[in-house]
Amino acid sequence: MTVPCLAQPAPAGDLENAIDELRARGLRLSASRRLVLEALFTAGRPATAEEIASGMYGRLPRCDLASVYRNLDTLEELGLVRHMHLGHGPGLYAPAARDDEYVACERCGRSEAVSRDVLSDVRAAVRAAVGYEARFNHFPLTGLCPSCKEKLDVRS
């Protein structure tokens, strides 16, 4: 599982805003909860629960994996965080503010983030074909990336 490339670290104020929001809802800011937020808001890319719990490759203190999952759940309920499943492997978590969508290659496993408007014609085609409102921010749009497509010389 490769990681999407478009995302960047959240603006500095976003972490503070998230903390305010948390307090406004009557929730406490514990050490591990702050850690989860810091990890997500400074990562610049979606992260796994395991990465967060193990300290983001030395950048942050480590903390318990179960607490990380519990906090991710809580923060997602508050609308501060969201998660996605890009192929097999563990779920990935990111600040909710980034509403990028994802495209993933089934063959090489790579995935990339694209901003929502890039796929508006796709959404329109889906609406016309099956009446669904397509969303690619939780599960990606899957297929063969241009390079794998070429290698396989695929039927269109």
Contact residues toward a second copy (CB under 8 A) are 85, 87-88, 103-106, 114, 118-119, 121-136, 138-146, 149, 154, 156
Binding mask 89-128 for DNA (x = CB under 7 A): xxx-------------------------------------
**Residues numbered 21-40 forming contacts with DNA, rule: CB under 7 A:** 23, 27-33
- Per partner kind, with CB cut-offs from 5 to 8 A, the member of a second copy, DNA, none near residue 59 is none
CA 85, CA 145: separation in Å to the nearest integer? 18
- Residues facing residue 92 across a β-bridge: 84
DSSP readout, 49-86? HHHHHTTTTTTS----HHHHHHHHHHHHHTTSEEEE--
Please give the structure tokens belonging to residue 105: 């290659």
Of 26 and 156, the one with the shorter C-beta distance to a second copy is 156
CB closer to a second copy, 33 vs 82:
82
Nearest distance from residue 80's CB to DNA, in Å? 13
Give least dist CB 156 to DNA, A.
30
CB atoms within 10 A of CB 156: 3
Q: How far is CA 92 from CA 59, 108, 128, in A?
A: 18, 18, 31
